[in-house]
């Protein structure tokens, strides 16, 4: 049997079908690639947005923390009126350790354990224009302690015996192997604290004021 060749119309139809399939495949490819690209952009945008949001939150939290720390520090400084100063004092040599122990032990017996009564001192100034008097200033003192007498305590030279003779026995006094810690305190809480360093030689150990702190004196 003799085979008949394809008709020209069949060849054209097949060519058109192949072209349509090819175009459809290309279009589908572009659609898929475009969809994946959109997903990547959306994911990237989401990450950038989340990172920006996280960074902004961290900055705000850090700023708030810094502001809080500054506020707390300022508040603490404003609510505390403590004045302190210190100097270096040569400590007694180790060969005088027994004498140092005796001096420190003896000093601890001087503490009264009883706060001193506050002194009440309010001054008045006359107003000549209105012929009236008004309280203009007040000082906070107790016993022989005032801001002026506190400032007179010479660190590095004033001895415990000299200070005790001038201002009376301390309210509290504790000691360790190197220092004596004396505190003169009023009933209202105003106080003067002095650290004494044992100094000198075996024949003459003295407690020398090396640090002083006052709170409340005016």
**Can you give the pTM of this predicted structure?**
0.58
Asked whether 113 and 169 are in contact (CB, 8 A), the reply is no
Beta bridge partners of 86: 211
Task: Dump pLDDT digits (tens) for 151-198.
Answer: 999 999 999 999 999 999 999 999 998 999 999 999 999 999 999 999
Choose among 96, 107, 102: nearest CA to 201.
96
Going from the C-alpha of 35 to that of each of 25, 120, 121, 175, the distances in angstroms are: 15, 87, 88, 82
Give the residue extent of every domain in the chain.
1-80, 83-215
Q: What does the alpha-carbon distance between residue 86 and residue 198 come to, in Å, rounded to a whole number?
A: 15
**Average pLDDT across the chain, whole number:** 78
pLDDT band at 55 (very low <50, low <70, confident <90, very high): low
Task: Name which residue leads in pLDDT, 202 or 91.
Answer: 91
């Amino acid at each position: 049997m003799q085979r008949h060749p394809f008709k020209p119309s069949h060849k054209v139809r097949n060519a058109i079908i192949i072209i349509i399939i090819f175009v459809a495949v290309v279009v589908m490819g572009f659609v898929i690639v475009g969809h994946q690209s959109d997903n990547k952009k959306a994911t990237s945008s989401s990450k950038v947005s989340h990172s920006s949001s996280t960074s902004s939150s961290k900055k705000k939290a850090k700023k708030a923390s810094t502001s809080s720390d500054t506020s707390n520090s300022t508040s603490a400084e404003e609510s505390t009126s403590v004045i302190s100063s210190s100097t270096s004092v040569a400590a007694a040599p180790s060969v005088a350790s027994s004498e140092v122990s005796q001096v420190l032990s003896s000093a601890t017996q001087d503490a009264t354990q009883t706060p001193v009564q506050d002194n009440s001192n309010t001054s008045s100034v006359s107003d000549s224009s209105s012929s009236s008097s008004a309280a203009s200033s007040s000082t906070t003192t107790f016993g022989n302690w005032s801001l002026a007498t506190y400032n007179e305590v010479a660190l590095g030279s004033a001895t415990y015996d000299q200070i005790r003779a001038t201002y009376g026995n301390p309210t509290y006094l504790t000691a360790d192997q190197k220092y004596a810690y004396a505190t003169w305190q009023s009933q209202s809480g105003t106080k003067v604290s002095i650290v004494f360093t044992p100094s000198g030689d075996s024949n003459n150990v003295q407690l020398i004021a090396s640090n002083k702190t006052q709170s409340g004196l005016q």
